[in-house]
Structures are given as structure tokens and as C-alpha cells.
Amino acid sequence: MTPYKRYWLTLSILLIASALNAAVPSPKGTRPNIVIIYGDDMGYGDLAIQNPDSKIPTPYLDQLAREGMRFTDGHSSSGVCTPSRYALLTGRHHWRKFHGFAGSFAKPFFDDEELTLPEMLKEKGYTTACIGKWHLGFDWQAIMKPGKNTPKNRENPPASDFDWSLKVPGGPTTHGFDYYFGDGTPNFPPYGWMENDKMVVAPTISYVPVPKPLEGSAECRPGPGVEGWRLDEVMPKLTEKAVEWIGLQKEADKPFFLYFPWTSPHAPIVPAKEFIGKSQAGPFGDYVVQSDWSAGQVLQALKDNGFEDNTVVIFTTDNGAEKYMMARLSTYNHNSSGSFRGMKREIYEGGHHVPFIVKWPGVTKPGSVTDAITSQVDIMATIARAIGYDLPAGQGEDGFDMMPVLKGEKPFVRNTLVMNTKPRQYGIRQGEWLLLLDPIESFDGKKDSDEYRAATGFTRIEEKQALFNLKDDIGQRKNLIGQYPEKAQQLEKLLKQVQETGYPRM
């Protein structure tokens, strides 16, 4: 056979193989691994690459952004933690079901019939793990001793009320995760490690926070804990376990999903010794530096184990920064909300407009930046489409497939977005227009509020509705409700439509 004929024969074989690969499901090992790193109380302005005035270095997350796509208009479902986590893992807004958050010894927030992201991935052959903060409830009552399961005892039960040798149902391993390791919620009891569905060491004491936080309050609710438990050892241990788990997947013949929800930089603000003084924004800034380091360790583990080129990495956060950011602004001139108005718990942009980075090898162009509107409820729909999973009716119903944006094929897919934290406070976004219902600020403490407004130039909005054009006024400083009442009425009608029948699809 001549070289010429051999060339065409080889090319024909390659073309046939390519066609066959496109026509049949991908073989094992070719589906992308997925890692979601989820920050806690980290504002848009805490990520250095998107805040030119930042006093906090975040080199690892900045590098992730340079290697992937950064969304400048990404949102969590809520301005507080539990609702955002629920929305991320179900692809449906929390407000379709609840508004509050999981308190001490809270019951599970998931129903058995709700499809979760890890359950979906398990159906497609993925190994799944959650390492870190859960904050979506466990069925703690199932391990309370006979006669101890009373309303009074549930508020602040002593360690002796529980049989810690029993499995605790209702947590991550009940809802799609093969493996769980974490402390539940860092500032809620029980204070100790849980692996899968059991406490590693039985709590025996009424926990007193150690060490004292370097900024703000410990915010630790009273309850049982493990003797010797230290708050500043939580994030280092979680990072170690995440890296270890990634390494264990090297010999596996399955794709994996790692959900790594940090306990930081949420209070208690307890950076490890080696990170103290590493920022110019005080202890919180140092804690963000430590968090960034944690992301770097996970990213390095993906490289070291040969997963980097076949792993989707998503970084985002559950809500904006906590109220301590007001004092941080006046003391260190660092604004955790960047140019946005508001902070955690609020309906303003600072409450839910969060960092959002996606690195998808072979899909996202390195260093790309998009102003497409997106929400964390879109993650499930996007992954479902990518792995060939058809979401059943009524599951993940609020999500949009963002793949055309990730590929750079379309400037936007989603044009409408609802935001909410408190039962009466809703925001409805359509393009550049945003209507807020009952938007009165909820700044904590009059003195801090006055200082914060003086530092930022914000004036208090007293109207029951506020209308903004975010293209011209991303800082939400000028309420246009008096100038464009028809636009407000149109948006309010759209909000009711989304609440009752779902998002309009283009």
C-alpha cells in the first residue's frame, strides 16, 4: 500500500471512529469530574481580581478566573446561607418552599422526592462527596434517648441526651452523597467531626468557643461539643480531607463530584496562625487569604492526580459579607461588597451578587469575562444537559442551561431573575431593570449604619418599592420608581408570573 493510500485509509478510520463516538454515550473516564468550591459570607469585593481597591490577595482564585470564565453578574438564590445551599443543590429557588435557615439541631430541609445534584450525578455513575459545611439539617431527634425528645430539650440539649453511637439520618449521605466529612455548621452544635452519618468522637461537654475570634463575634450557639475542639483547626482539616479524597479517586474507574462548602470566612473569624497578617484588611482579610489557600490546595490536588484537564471547577459563595464589613470599611478601607449596595441578609445587590467562576476545560475560554446574568440554580440544569440527563418535570425547574454562554456562543441565556431573602422582600430583574419590593435596609446597629453610609455615600431608601437601572446605576443609589411607574408595574406582574408558573423561556 502506498503512503498516499495509507494516509486516506487512516483518515477514514479516524472519521468513522469520531462519528461513532458522537453517536454513543461517552466511555468511562471521559465524563468530566466536577468540583464546586462554595465560600461562606465572602462578598463580591473580597475577590481581588474583581476589586481594584481590594486589600486582600486571592492569587489562587484569581488564577482560576484567568484559566476559566468569570461571571460579573452571578447570584445566589438568597442573602443567607441555608436557602442558597438548598437552591444550589436542587436547581430550584428556596422561596418556593421556605425562607429561613437551619438553626441548632434543625430538621432536614430536603424532602425525599426532591432530586438533588449529587443524586442526579450518581444516576450517571459519579462518585460523590461533600466535605465541609452542610447547614441543611439532620434528623437529630432520631438519636435522642427515650424521654429526652421534648421541645424544651431540643433548644439546648446536653450531650447526655443523645446516643452518639447511632447513625444520624437526613444528612448528605441521605440525599446523594457517597461520603461526608465535616462539622455540620461551624457555629452550631454539636461541635465535633461527623464522618458520613456518625460523630467521629462523642460530644461530652457544653462547648465554650476556643479560640476567641480575632474579629466580630464567635456567633457560636450553645450546645454539646467534643472536648478540646478548636475552631481554628476546622478549615485546615477540611482542606486536608478534600485533598485526600481527590487522591483516592486516582485509581477509581468513575468520574467524581466533590462539593467543598467552606466554613470560612464566616464567623467565627479564626484564621490559622500562619495566615495572620497576610492581608491589609484585618483578621477577616487574613481568613479570606486562608480560604484562597484552601482553594489552591484543591486545585493543586487535581493537577497532582492528573485530573486538571477533565475537571469542571466552579467557585461561588452563598451570600454577601456579614455586617462586620461596615467596620472593616472604615478601619481598613476595604469594601467587601465592592461597588454594590448592601450586605448579607439584604435584597440589595451586596446580599446576593456574588463571586462566580467556572473553569470547564474544552468549553470555557481562558481569561474570559461575561456580564451574562446567571444564578446558582443554573448549575444543575447546565450540568444535566452536559452529561445527558433529562431533568424530570418539577425538578430543577428554575435553572437555565448556561452552556451557550460558557462556550461563548451567546451573550446571555437568562434575562430574568428573582432574588429573595425575607418573606416579603423580593426583587425581580429583567435585563438592566430591577424592581425591589419592601427594600428598607436592615443594617444592624444605628451607629454602624450611619458610619457605613458616610463612608459609601448611600442615602437611606424609605419607599415601599425601589426601581433601578443597573446598567447606569449598579450601586443602586437612585430610586427611579417615581419616573417609571409603568416599568415597575410590568416587573411586578412578571414576578407573579415567575412565582406561579415559572420563568419565561426564550
Classified as helix, coil or strand, 466 is strand
CA proximity to 83, closest of 67, 99, 68: 99
Number of H helices, E strands in the chain: 13, 18
Classified as helix, coil or strand, 386 is helix
CA proximity to 413, closest of 382, 439, 384: 382
366 pLDDT more than 60: yes
Enumerate the domain spans of the chain: 29-413
CA proximity to 257, closest of 77, 379, 111, 391: 379
Q: What is the structure's pLDDT at 448?
A: 60
346 pLDDT more than 70: yes
pLDDT band, very low/low/confident/very high, at 454 (cuts 50, 70, 90): confident
What gap in Å lies between CA 49 and CA 24, rounded to an integer?
41
What gap in Å lies between CA 424 and CA 460, rounded to an integer?
19
User: What's the whole-number average pLDDT of the chain?
Assistant: 92
| Average of per-residue pLDDT across 269-296 | 98
In the chain, what percentage of residues exceed pLDDT 70?
91
Q: What is the structure's pLDDT at 30?
A: 73
What are 402-411's pLDDT values in tens digits?
999 999 999 9
| Average of per-residue pLDDT across 26-42 | 82
Residue 344: how many other CB atoms lie within 10 Å: 27
451 exposed, middle or buried (CB, 10 Å; 0-12, 13-18, 19+)?
middle
Q: How far is CA 167 from CA 111, 197, 380, in A?
A: 19, 5, 29
CA proximity to 480, closest of 494, 463, 457, 459: 463
Angle at which helices 282-304 and 234-248 cross, to 10°: 10
Q: How far is CA 149 from CA 170, 171, 198, 293, 444, in A?
A: 17, 19, 19, 42, 35
194 exposed, middle or buried (CB, 10 Å; 0-12, 13-18, 19+)?
buried
- The C-alpha cell 492569587 sits at 59
Q: What is the structure's pLDDT at 446?
A: 54
Better-predicted residue by pLDDT, 5 or 240: 240
26 pLDDT more than 80: no
Lowest mean pLDDT among 119-133, 352-366, 452-466: 452-466
| Average of per-residue pLDDT across 92-119 | 95
φ, ψ at 442 (rounded to 5°): -120, 35
φ, ψ at 354 (rounded to 5°): -125, 165
φ, ψ at 217 (rounded to 5°): -95, 155
Q: Which residues contact 408 (CB under 8 A, 6 or more apart)?
A: 365, 368
Strand partners, 312: 34
Q: What is the structure's pLDDT at 207?
A: 96
CA proximity to 165, closest of 135, 145, 136, 187: 145
- The C-alpha cell 467543598 sits at 260
What are 208-229's pLDDT values in tens digits?
999 999 999 999 999 999 999 9
pLDDT band, very low/low/confident/very high, at 200 (cuts 50, 70, 90): very high
What gap in Å lies between CA 108 and CA 11, rounded to an integer?
56
pLDDT band, very low/low/confident/very high, at 27 (cuts 50, 70, 90): very low
What gap in Å lies between CA 181 and CA 132, rounded to an integer?
6
Strand runs labelled E in 203-300: 205-206, 224-225, 256-261
Q: What is the structure's pLDDT at 15?
A: 36
What are 49-83's pLDDT values in tens digits?
999 999 999 999 999 999 999 999 999 999 999 99
| Average of per-residue pLDDT across 289-298 | 98
Contact status, residue 384 vs residue 115, Cβ threshold 8 Å: no
Classified as helix, coil or strand, 497 is helix
Assign a CATH topology to domain 29-413.
Answer: Alkaline Phosphatase, subunit A (3.40.720)
Q: What is the structure's pLDDT at 320?
A: 97
| Average of per-residue pLDDT across 256-276 | 98
Contact status, residue 321 vs residue 348, Cβ threshold 8 Å: no
Strand runs labelled E in 22-153: 33-39, 69-71, 74-75, 127-133
Name the grid cell of 476. Answer: 443602586
What gap in Å lies between CA 110 and CA 170, rounded to an integer?
8
Residues 363, 365, 371, 375: is their CA dihedral positive or negative?
positive
Q: Which of the residue ranges 26-30, 301-305, 458-462 has the most confident prediction, judged by mean pLDDT? A: 301-305
What gap in Å lies between CA 239 and CA 158, rounded to an integer?
30
345 pLDDT more than 50: yes
What are 148-199's pLDDT values in tens digits?
876 665 678 999 999 999 999 999 999 999 999 999 999 999 999 999 999 9
Name the grid cell of 357. Answer: 467562576
Name the grid cell of 446. Answer: 444605628
Q: What is the structure's pLDDT at 11?
A: 35
Contact status, residue 61 vs residue 54, Cβ threshold 8 Å: no
What gap in Å lies between CA 6 and CA 8, rounded to an integer?
6
Contact status, residue 211 vs residue 270, Cβ threshold 8 Å: yes
What gap in Å lies between CA 198 and CA 169, rounded to an integer?
9
Contact status, residue 349 vs residue 340, Cβ threshold 8 Å: yes
